[in-house]
Structure 1
Amino acid sequence: MFFFTVLALIATVLALVCMGYFFLGSVPLLVLEHDTPLDSRFIRGFFNVYYRALPALAALGAVSYALAGKAGFAVEMALIFGLTLAARRIVLAEMDTLRATMTASDVAAIARFRRVHIAAIALNLAQLVALGVSLTLLRL
């Protein structure tokens, strides 16, 4: 049981680092114009890496918390896992759709890409805050 508690905490810390790094790295990307293929490809790639790493860490955390007898935290990590997988499908698909047709003069598509970018950052921040606050309730 102690082993699974330690493993869950390691997964949680790594998930927090992943979320924090993504937040700190994605906000400055808002200064990019989002209007060139290189900008949009870089942003999409950054999100893709995040949407691959976080579900793996959340799944490890969920299973470890469940095996450690911490059902509430297992559910929270499972929710982060599911929400991140859903966001990956939606956000990356929307970015791919916009990137395929976006030109430097297409103000509407650029604005939409930027809104998708901001929405993904907001979702990440909400997950980061929720996980961080819930850790104050953890009793080992």
Structure 2
Amino acid sequence: MTTALFSTIPLLMCMGYFFMGSLPLLILKHDTPMDSRFIRGFFSTYYVAVLCTASIPMISFALVGGFAFSAGMLVIALIALFLRKVLLAQMDDLRIRIESADSNAVTDFRHLHIAGMAINFLQLALLIWGLFHFFR
């Protein structure tokens, strides 16, 4: 069980790094193609990293009989997969609108950025809660 528990550390680090790294990106005005491209790339990299790092504890917990926690890791991975498809597609659409000088696109992109961060924060908080709740 200890090995399975330690396998969550890379996932926690990934999620924490993304949250702390995406906060300063809110300073960007999101109004240039470079800003939106960088933020989209940051989100894309994060979702791939979560898929990889969530799969390790998912398998580890399943092997030691922690099926509830393994299912939680699966949910985190599936959310990352879903958001990578949906959120990044929306960011791409908004980037095109930003380049065509749509004034609402910048605000929409910023809201999408904040929503992605909020979802990550919620998952991170639930994961930490789960670790403390199940492993007291």
What TM bracket, shorter-length normalisation? over 0.9
CA distance in 1, matches of 2:72, 2:43: 22
1:35 touches 1:104 (CA, 8 Å); kept in 2?
no
Corresponding residue of 1:69: 65
Corresponding residue of 1:82: 78
TM-score with structure 1 setting the length: 0.91
Corresponding residue of 2:21: 25
The reply to whether residue 43 of structure 1 matches residue 28 of structure 2 is no
The reply to whether residue 119 of structure 1 matches residue 118 of structure 2 is no
Q: 1:34 aligns with which of 30, 33, 46?
A: 30
CA distance in 1, matches of 2:118, 2:100: 25
The root-mean-square deviation of aligned C-alpha atoms, in Å, is: 1.5
Where structure 2 has 5 or more consecutive residues not aligned to the other structure, the ranges are none
Runs of 4+ with >3 A deviation: none
Pairs aligned (count): 136
The reply to whether residue 110 of structure 1 matches residue 106 of structure 2 is yes
Where structure 1 has 5 or more consecutive residues not aligned to the other structure, the ranges are none
CA distance in 2, matches of 1:101, 1:138: 46
TM-score with structure 2 setting the length: 0.93
The reply to whether residue 56 of structure 1 matches residue 52 of structure 2 is yes
